[in-house]
């Protein structure tokens, strides 16, 4: 990265001192991650944001929904900055509040809303989290989806159902592989079709109602690529994120959040081979940091997460230097009503065991 920008970012951070805390998601570029005070997966970063009451500014190097969650979990006097406002998430955009409210009305009409606990993946907008808070539901991340689903099913007894937003893959993978539900217990709600494309009977029979959303990066890994790799690299370990499709996860050796992926590679024996199905910035960093292990990207045709990559060094320098000059740019602020209910759902997640 440009040495001048590196020096400027370091100088601005030094001037701000304890006033600023920089959080970096594992999918961020190397040029940005070098300035993070803490790196983590979505769950760890939410906890870290909540644990920094002394920082006046939280600069969030990640995507919009993560910065919103940080704003919700920090004190009102603390300001959360997202260095580029265009750093959104295509998966989060796949569930809009009006669509989710329509789905809830349909569940009410089918006579089952009382049995349904809505669980939203962290990768969703604050108003979806607030919806879950209002309807006795919770948030989960890829590192606690199993406990969150177990909690949800325990809320409503034998007839309990979960409406899982917005990632159908994480919902299906967790329900089938961690909770032992059948694939036939899962139905997919398509918000673009009347009544989600489902009959009232299908809704009544289902245990998991999966929102038809997916990650545009992880959704591109295929089962064929896993089979090809296994055929060409004997002994390769396949390690994937649970946002990958069910057929891919079924063929993998290990599945887990970004933090899990990092811990797995750190603990791996030298000389072992790993093909990793997650965002490319993280896989490249793991390969660089572990030259004693053979680390490769699961599918070379899959690209970076374009929105994660929007946070680059020029944007970070601009955000930090503006703070030095007394201007808060790109502040992420969730309105009070949304914040209240989203915090209820986030707090239920933070209170889960484990
Ligand atoms: P985790 O950090 O929870 O593994 O999430 C992955 C992701 O896609 C974030 O956008
Ligand atoms: Fe969203 Fe996928 Fe990018 Fe994560 S990797 S921010 S889920 S599009």
Averaged over 57-63, what is the pLDDT? 98
Pocket of ligand 1 (CB under 6 A): 41-43, 89, 123, 141-142, 215, 243, 257-258
Question: Do the annotations mark residue 123 as ligand-binding?
Answer: yes
The verdict on whether residue 215 carries a ligand-binding annotation is yes
d(CA 335, CA 181): 38
Residue 354 pLDDT: 75
Query: Which atom from ligand 1 is nearest to the alpha carbon of 89?
Result: 10
The model's confidence at residue 149, banded by pLDDT at 50, 70 and 90, is very high
What domains, with CATH codes, occur in the chain? Answer: 3-89+308-335 (3.40.50.10800), 92-215 (3.40.50), 218-297 (3.40.50.10800)
At which residue do the structure tokens 């694939």 appear?
A: 183
In ligand 2, the atom with minimum distance to the C-alpha of 27 is 5
Q: What confidence score (pLDDT) does residue 180 get? A: 97
- Nearest Cα neighbor of 101 from 27, 9, 211, 13 is 211
Q: Please say if the pLDDT value at position 299 is more than 90.
A: yes
Nearest atom (ligand 2) to Cα of 92: 1
**Mean pLDDT value of segment 34-40:** 97
Tell me whether residue 199 is annotated as binding.
no
Q: How many angstroms separate the alpha carbon of residue 257 from the centre of ligand 1?
A: 7
Task: Work out which ligand 2 atom sits closest to the CA atom of 88.
Answer: 6
Q: Is the pLDDT of residue 103 over 80?
A: yes
Which residues, in sequence order, are CB contacts of 231 under 8 Å at separation 6+? none
Expressed in angstroms and rounded, the spacing between residue 278 Cα and the centre of ligand 1 is: 9
Mean pLDDT of the chain: 96
Q: Where are the alpha helices (DSSP H) in the chain?
A: 3-16, 30-33, 42-50, 64-73, 97-109, 126-134, 145-155, 168-173, 200-205, 223-232, 246-251, 258-267, 280-289, 313-324, 336-350
> Is a pLDDT exceeding 80 seen at residue 219?
yes
Q: Contact, 67 vs 84, CB < 8 A?
A: no
For residue 62, the CA-to-ligand 1 centroid distance in Å is 10
ipTM of the complex as predicted = 0.97
Instruction: Please state whether 235 falls in left (phi above 0), alpha (psi between -120 and 50) or beta.
Output: left
Quick one: 97 exposed, middle or buried, by C-beta within 10 A (0-12, 13-18, 19+)? middle
Span 16-34, mean pLDDT? 97
Helix (H, G, I), strand (E, B) or coil at 300: coil
How many other C-beta atoms lie within 10 A of the C-beta of residue 273?
Answer: 16
Hey, whose CA ends up nearest to atom 2 of ligand 2? 215
Q: Whose CA is nearest to atom 10 of ligand 1?
A: 123
Among protein residues, the one with the nearest Cα to ligand 2's atom 6 is 89
Residue 302's pLDDT band, with cuts at 50, 70 and 90, is confident
- Residues 292-299 have a mean pLDDT of 97
Taking 90 as the threshold, does the pLDDT of residue 138 lie above it?
yes
Q: Would the CA dihedral through 248, 249, 253, 257 be positive or negative?
A: positive
Determine if residue 190 is labeled as part of a ligand binding site.
no
pLDDT of residue 1: 81
pTM: 0.96
Q: Whole-angstrom Cα distance, residue 215 to residue 180? A: 24
Nearest to 298 by CA among 234, 224, 235: 224
Residue 324's CB is within 10 A of a number of other CB atoms, namely 15
The rounded percent of the chain whose pLDDT value lies above 70 is 100
Q: CB neighbours (10 Å) of residue 38?
A: 15
Instruction: Tell how far the Cα of 88 is from the centroid of ligand 2, in angstroms.
Output: 8
């Amino acid at each position: 990265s440009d040495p001048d920008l590196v020096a400027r970012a370091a100088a601005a951070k030094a001037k701000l001192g304890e006033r600023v805390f920089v959080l970096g998601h594992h999918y961020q570029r190397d040029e940005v991650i070098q300035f993070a005070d803490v790196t983590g997966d979505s769950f760890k970063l939410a906890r870290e944001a909540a644990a920094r009451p002394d920082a006046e500014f939280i600069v969030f190097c990640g995507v919009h929904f993560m910065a919103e969650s940080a704003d919700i979990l920090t004190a009102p006097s603390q300001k959360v900055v997202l260095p580029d406002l265009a750093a959104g998430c295509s998966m989060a955009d796949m569930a809009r509040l009006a669509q989710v409210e329509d789905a809830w009305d349909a569940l009410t009409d089918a006579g089952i809303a009382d049995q349904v606990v809505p669980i939203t993946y962290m990768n969703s907008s604050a108003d979806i989290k607030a919806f879950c808070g209002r309807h006795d539901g919770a948030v989960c991340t890829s590192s606690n989806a199993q406990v969150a689903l177990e909690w949800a099913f325990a809320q409503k007894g034998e007839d309990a159902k979960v409406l899982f937003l917005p990632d159908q893959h994480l919902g299906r993978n967790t329900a089938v592989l961690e909770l032992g539900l059948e694939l036939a217990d899962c139905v997919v709600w398509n918000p673009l079709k009347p009544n989600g494309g489902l009959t009232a009977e299908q809704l009544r029979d289902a245990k998991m109602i999966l929102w038809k959303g997916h990650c545009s990066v992880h959704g591109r890994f295929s089962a064929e690529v896993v089979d090809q790799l296994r055929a060409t690299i004997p002994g390769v370990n396949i390690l994937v994120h649970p946002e990958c499709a069910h057929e891919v996860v079924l063929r993998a050796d290990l599945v887990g959040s970004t933090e899990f992926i990092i811990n797995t590679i750190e603990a791996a024996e030298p000389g072992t081979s790993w093909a990793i199905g997650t965002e490319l910035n993280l896989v490249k960093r793991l390969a660089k940091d572990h030259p004693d292990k053979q680390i490769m990207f699961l599918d070379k045709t899959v690209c970076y997460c374009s929105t994660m990559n929007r946070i680059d060094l020029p944007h970070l320098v601009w955000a930090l230097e503006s703070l030095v000059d007394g201007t808060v740019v790109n502040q992420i602020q969730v309105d009070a009503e949304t914040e209240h209910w989203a915090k209820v759902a986030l707090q239920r997640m933070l209170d889960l065991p484990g």
